[in-house]
Amino acid sequence: MAKYVGLDGFRGGWVSAWIDDGGRHGFDYSSSLDRLLSNPHSRAMIDIPIGLPDVGFRQCDIQAREWLGPSVFPGVRRGVWLFSSQGDANDYYWEHEGAGMGISCQLWNIRDKIKEVDDIITPERQRVLCETHPELIFWTLRGRKPLERKKSKAGQEQRIEILNRFGFSNIERWIDLRFGTGIGRDDLIDACACAIAARDAKCVIDEPKCDGRGLRMEMYY
């Protein structure tokens, strides 16, 4: 029976949620992304950029930000993790690419996660491990209507209701079980959204060219 996996990063590593064609579902977490991906699955989706340009912004980030606003962090490039600070990165990008071409604190803070995924992804593996964005999934499942802020009580209630409707009936119990793991409520919620995308997503924002390693720069929703 086909299994679909969603992955999201948290401070201690990665949290995954899975659902299969029979409606069974569960969650797991690990400091090792490879361990979570070693479990058999038909498709996995992760909330981390895949396909990194050397310069400029990716079209999928620009389009998603037009739809969703500041919850999308544009500006990822290959090698962003090589800079010693966000300030050094922005000084370089502004000097070589122009004003306004820097990166946000949020993007800088996930640079190690970006590198971890970039280290294991290949064009062949990208057929099964794809990029998505949880807020894009929730926005789509709500009929392209905006939601309350993801960290607010109302926003989390909206997202949990959507997850329940699309098969994750145990999410509220899992939120209680996560205590002591370091996993945030929103991290677990986002992993479930990514799993729904792995099972259901057929639309993709992409661009015609690949990055320098032959990886597609695209985002499923």
Please report the pLDDT score of residue 154 as a whole number. Answer: 97
Give the mean pLDDT of 154-168. 98
* Each residue's pLDDT tens digit, 111-139: 999 999 999 999 999 999 999 999 999 99
- How many Å apart are CA 5 and CA 57, to the nearest integer? 28
Q: pLDDT (tens digit, 9 = 90+) per residue, 180-212?
A: 999 999 999 999 999 999 999 999 999 999 999
Task: Say if residue 156's pLDDT is above 90.
Answer: yes
Tell me what pLDDT residue 1 has.
78
What whole-number percentage of the chain has pLDDT above 70? 100
- What average pLDDT does range 58-84 have in this prediction? 97
Average pLDDT over residues 33-53: 97
Q: What pTM was estimated for this model as a whole?
A: 0.96
